[in-house]
Amino acid sequence: MPARLVVLVSGSGTNLQALLDACADPAFGARVVAVGADRHDVEGLARAERAGVPTFVRRVEDFSSREHWDAALAGGVGAFEPDLVVLAGFMRLVGESFLGAFGGRTVNTHPALSPAFPGMHGPRDALAYGVKVTGATLFLVDAGVDTGQIVAQTAVPVADDDDVASLHERIKTAERTMLVDAVGRMVRDGWRVEGRRVLLGAAAGPAGR
Ligand code: GRF
């Protein structure tokens, strides 16, 4: 049985698309059973609809508090019984209800090499700092901002003539490959967490996830 992925998006959904494309191969070992968003009318939702994948939306502004929104988000995700939840360009912090239900099996992708440049503007902050190498990080979501244990990272050079958009595009190309590769390994071979370290595949040992 392929693992069940629920993917959450806020925008263009190119990371989601990479997962949808990978899941077309049964050997990948997963399928996207639903896509959720925190807003209507984003390309990520349209990509899901074109792929015939059910969608749901939970907008913060439709709830009386962040906590109620978070619980509703967790309910929306839980209805699809995911094995793994993937935040792919989902621009919201999840809270206690969500982490209570899906902590330890929710990953997020961030366009910087953690622990450098957490937050909403990884490419901009890396460029402003003047680093020569940046990249993307896949991590297990915790209550912090891009602070969870690192599952995978990929490095990307910064070019002298980069602006934020060109750098982010180069990061996103590498990020999609990293995401598909790491999610595939997680669902096929399992993972284990030892302190800050996440061990994938054979290194995770027979217990897997
Ligand atoms: C990705 O770079 C992600 O890391 C960041 O926003 C971008 C989302 O891209 N948070 P997309 O919606 O998957 O195209």
76-89 per-position pLDDT tens digit: 999 999 999 999 99
Cα of 176 vs centre of ligand 1, distance in Å, is 9
What mean pLDDT comes out for the span 23-47? 98
* Cα 207 to ligand 1 centre (Å): 32
Q: Answer whether residue 192 shows pLDDT above 70.
A: yes
Which ligand 1 atom is nearest residue 12's CA? 12
Residue 207 confidence (pLDDT) above 90 = no
Whole-number pLDDT of residue 86: 98
What local confidence, expressed as pLDDT, does residue 202 receive?
Answer: 66
* Residue 6: per-residue pLDDT: 98
The rounded Å distance from CA 66 to ligand 1 centre is: 23
Cα(67) to centroid(ligand 1), Å? 25
Beta bridge partners, 8, equal 36, 87
Handedness of CA 189, 194, 92, 134 (dihedral sign): negative
* Residues with a CB atom less than 6 Å from ligand 1: 9, 11-16, 44, 88-89, 109-111, 172, 175
Measured between alpha carbons, how far is residue 105 from residues 10, 60, 64, 155 in Å? 20, 23, 27, 24
Atom 9 of ligand 1 has which residue's CA nearest to it? 89
Which of 151, 118, 150, 157 has the alpha carbon at shortest distance from 134?
A: 157
Q: Which of 97, 113, 128 is nearest to 175 (CA)?
A: 113
Mean pLDDT of the chain: 96
pLDDT of residue 51: 98
Would the pLDDT of 19 be above 90?
yes
Instruction: Specify the residue with its C-alpha closest to ligand 1, atom 1.
Output: 89
Section 131-141 average pLDDT: 98
pLDDT at position 170 over 80 = yes
Ligand 1 nearest-atom number relative to CA 109: 4
**Which of 108, 172, 173, 183 for mutating ligand 1's site (highest number of atoms within 8 Å of CB)?**
172
DSSP 115-172: TSS-STTHHHHHHHHT-SEEEEEEEE--SSSS-SPEEEEEEEEPPTT--HHHHHHHHH
DSSP string, the chain: -PEEEEEEESS--HHHHHHHHHHTSGGG-EEEEEEEESSSS-HHHHHHHHTT--EEE--GGGSSSHHHHHHHHHHHHHTT--SEEEESS--S---HHHHHHHTTSEEEEESS-TTSS-STTHHHHHHHHT-SEEEEEEEE--SSSS-SPEEEEEEEEPPTT--HHHHHHHHHHHHHHHHHHHHHHHHHH-EEEETTEEEEGGGG-TT--
- pLDDT over 80 (residue 100): yes
Domains with residue ranges and CATH for the chain:
1-103 (3.40.50.170), 110-139+151-209 (3.40.50.170)
Work out which ligand 1 atom sits closest to the CA atom of 136. Answer: 4
Atom of ligand 1 nearest to the CA of 171: 2
**Do the beta carbons of residue 32 and residue 48 sit within 8 Å?**
yes
The pLDDT value recorded for residue 204 is: 75
